[in-house]
Every structure is written in structure tokens, then in C-alpha cells.
Amino acid sequence: MKTDNELIEEFLANGGEVERLETIEPEYKSVIGSTVKKVPELMTLKEGELMFGEKQKRRKKKKKELDFSKIDLDLIPEHLHDIVGKPREEKDN
């Protein structure tokens, strides 16, 4: 296995050229927020239960009955009756 110096000498012997580039300063600097941890807020058991306790279950609202009396269901296409919620009533001819 060749050392780094041997590889460099071989590269230069084969006609390779080494070019030195200028260092460039980064255009932006990242700002890091404070690494100091906040002091924990002490609270009583009741305050903790109030803030972090389980939420009470809410009652479900009753569904409102829809009033179809002012709607002419004959004008609604057949495939949309299921979406509307009330099936077409059969007419006697």
C-alpha cells in the first residue's frame, strides 16, 4: 500500500498540477437559540389536574330532522336521492 507522499509524487511525476484555492468565508452565520433550559413551573396537584388531566366527554348533539316539504324531490336525479337523505316517494299513475 502506497503512502500519501508516494501517491502525490506519482501524481506530480505523471504531469499533474496542484492548484491552491483561496478560502471563502460563508455568506451567512447560523444563529443558535439559547441553550439555557427554562426553570420548571411548580404547581399544585389540583392545578396540574386542571391543566393536564383528561378532558371530559362531550355529549353528541342531536341530529336535526330535515324539512323536505318545500323541496320538489321529483326534480332531483335518482342517483342523488341517497345523498339528499330521503328516498323518492312512489307516485301512483
Q: In the prediction, which pLDDT does 92 show?
A: 47
Q: pLDDT, tens digit, for every residue of 34-71?
A: 777 777 788 888 888 888 887 777 778 888 877 778 87
Q: What is the pTM of this model?
A: 0.25
The values of phi and psi at residue 2, to 5°, are -85, 145
Q: In the prediction, which pLDDT does 87 show?
A: 53
Q: pLDDT, tens digit, for every residue of 17-30?
A: 888 888 888 777 77
In terms of Cβ atoms closer than 10 Å to its own Cβ (0-12, 13-18, 19+), residue 76 is middle
Comparison of pLDDT for 2 and 36, the residue scoring more = 2
